[in-house]
Amino acid sequence: MFYYFKTIFLITLLTAMFLFIGKLLAGEVGMYIALGVAMIINFISYYFSDKIVLSYYNAKEVNSGEIYDIVKEVAFRANIPTPKVYIIEEDQPNAFATGRNPHHSAVAITTGLINLLDYNEIRGVIAHEIAHIKNRDILISTIAAGIAAAISIVIDIFQWTFFFRRDDENNNINIFSYLLILILGPIIALIIQMAVSRTREYLADQTGAKIINDPISLAKALEKLHYYASNIPLYKQNLAFNHLFIVNPQSLLNLFSTHPPIEERIKRLYKLANNR
């Protein structure tokens, strides 16, 4: 229930930002227009954010093969419906889960991950993603991705609108408000992602390891993924989607990392293995 409240909070935040920007651009009329746009984007974020993310990375659905079989087996162990399985043609080894709930979910894995990890390590990664679905993290994470992307688009639209208005129209827009939006917009998007991701990664590691009863394979997978993700760039990068991945696809951005330290995640998994 707590995560549904967080979802409502994110939707409310997006709506408030649209209303604020709409009022700055066109007064009360702008607020009503912004409200309509916000309602459309909120609807899209809830029902179609997962499809937008998968489409952005050109993910291709598979219905057979080793990866599909692993997802099916781990989902059975987790007592959830088998998610849809997607493969992304990317050299960087990475993976993510998306969707609204266990009945509307998907797991996406890059070809780089498939080529890098052995069977047990791939199984560990998939268990982590299945854990996100089982723990119902995917709704809040997927909507956060949609909202963060929407905020970025709104900032761009506002910036271009501001510069192309006539001078007398620009006087109606407080320069302080303009700067406030440009500064706070991206920060809010990052805060949204950080708030929903960091602590849930620890839980997904723990839950995933318990599902397959193999913390070591997941720990080894995380170590490899972290190293190679640091050296192999993601071809299609988008800050709005970083928090979805099992390891940060842009690892140099440590200041605003959407993930907890990989060393701590690995340490906890080895501790979990020793306590069995």
Give the span between the Cα atoms of 11 and 16, in whole angstroms.
Answer: 9
Q: Are 241 and 178 in contact (CB under 8 A)?
A: no
Q: Across the strands, what pairs with 104?
A: 101
Q: Are 138 and 88 in contact (CB under 8 A)?
A: no
Positive/negative CA dihedral, 176, 182, 185, 186: negative
- pTM to 2 decimal places: 0.80
**Window from 103-112, 203-212, 249-258 with minimum mean pLDDT:** 249-258
Query: Residue 113 pLDDT > 90, yes or no?
Result: yes
Average pLDDT over residues 134-157: 74
Q: What is the DSSP string of 199-218?
A: HHHHHHHHHHHHHHT-HHHH
Please report which confidence band the pLDDT of residue 194 belongs to, taking 50, 70 and 90 as the band edges: low
Chain centroid to Cα 99, Å, comes to 10
What is the extent of the structural domain holding 159?
2-274
129 catalytic? Reply is yes
Query: Residue 114 pLDDT > 60, yes or no?
Result: yes
- Of the candidates 129, 201, 223, 263, the residue annotated as catalytic is 129
What's 128-142 look like in SS3?
HHHHHHHCCCHHHHH
Dump pLDDT digits (tens) for 25-83: 667 887 888 788 778 877 887 788 789 899 999 999 999 999 999 999 999 999 999 99
Give the span between the Cα atoms of 25 and 134, in whole angstroms.
Answer: 43
Give the count of domains, the chain. Answer: 1
**Window from 85-94, 189-198, 236-245, 260-269 with minimum mean pLDDT:** 189-198
